[in-house]
């Protein structure tokens, strides 16, 4: 059985595919296999929710088959994030400088 994946590993894999993304990943159970991720990227402009999710699943590749049991995704463009923050539904902070 593969080792549990960390939130940092998930974030790194997504950033490799979407370097312009702002990401928050949260382990929802503490067991290292159930996660929630909020991903904000201008790359999502004009894409359907299904296509956005496919992009994320593609970035995670084998981790989705072997190390992640469940992943809840919220994918937004920067404009959608601004609208959500205005209604105080979602609050994602800018990534720290790397």
> Which pLDDT score is estimated for 20?
96
Q: What mean pLDDT comes out for the span 26-51? A: 95
Q: 39 in a domain, yes or no?
A: yes
Q: 38 in a domain, yes or no?
A: yes
Q: Is the dihedral of CA 38, 41, 43, 47 positive or negative?
A: positive
Q: 68 in a domain, yes or no?
A: yes
Q: 2 in a domain, yes or no?
A: no
Token readout for 34 is: 């159930």
Report the CATH number that the domain containing residue 41 is assigned in CATH: 3.30.300.90
Q: 93 in a domain, yes or no?
A: no
Confidence of residue 38 (pLDDT cuts 50, 70, 90): very high
Record the pTM: 0.83
For the chain, what is the domain count?
1
On whether the CB atoms of residues 38 and 71 are closer than 8 A, the answer is: no
Q: Residue 15 belongs to what domain range?
A: 7-86
Q: Measuring CA to CA, which residue among 3, 4, 63, 58 is closest to residue 29?
A: 4
């Amino acid at each position: 059985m593969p080792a549990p994946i960390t939130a940092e590993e998930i974030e790194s894999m997504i950033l490799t595919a979407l370097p312009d993304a702002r990401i928050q990943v949260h382990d929802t159970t503490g067991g290292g296999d159930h996660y929630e991720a909020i991903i904000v990227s201008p790359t999502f402009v004009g894409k359907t929710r299904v296509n956005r999710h496919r992009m994320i699943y593609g970035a995670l590749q084998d981790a989705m088959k072997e190390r992640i049991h469940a992943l809840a995704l919220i994918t937004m463009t920067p404009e959608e994030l601004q609208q959500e923050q205005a209604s105080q539904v979602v609050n994602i902070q800018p990534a720290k400088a790397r």
